[in-house]
Amino acid sequence: MSNRTFTMIKPDAFAAGHIGSILKHIEAAGFKIIAMKAIRLSAEKAGEFYAVHKERPFYGELVEFMSSGPIVAAILEKENAVADFRTLIGATNPAQAADGTIRKLYAKSVGENAVHGSDSDENAAIEGSFFFSAFERI
């Protein structure tokens, strides 16, 4: 079990001014910020990040959305980080997300769902390295 996960505050939540509120939830849940930056992904970079979904019908829409405006990318640390962060953000579709979760509170739709959270320790490491060099981490 790793103690790190990777997150993005997606363009919908960034544009709506929810960065501060979302970071507050994350810190209140006991996660420490190990690395963080605001950045805008090109369509090419967004496509590369979500390449695992290349064959899915929503891939084009997802790439377009994720490159539509700036995001916040961050590496977070906590015991059992990956699983606990997925619990904190809630289901992919905010209509199915539990009360009090970040997606229930801030997501607009299954596509524009406010935050990303890694789904495994392996992907957390890959995704963190996609955005941050060793020099940029605490």
Give the binding site for Mg ion (CB under 5 A): 119
d(CA 69, CA 67): 6
d(CA 53, CA 92): 14
Known catalytic residue at 25: no
- CB atoms closer than 10 angstroms to residue 38: 12
- Judged by CB under 6 A, does residue 110 bind ligand ATP? yes
d(CA 64, CA 111): 11
- Closest to ligand ATP by CB, 111 vs 134, is 111
- Judged by CB under 6 A, does residue 68 bind ligand ATP? no
- Judged by CB under 6 A, does residue 92 bind ligand ATP? yes
Residues that bind ligand ATP (CB under 6 A): 53, 58, 61-62, 92, 110-111, 113, 116-117, 119
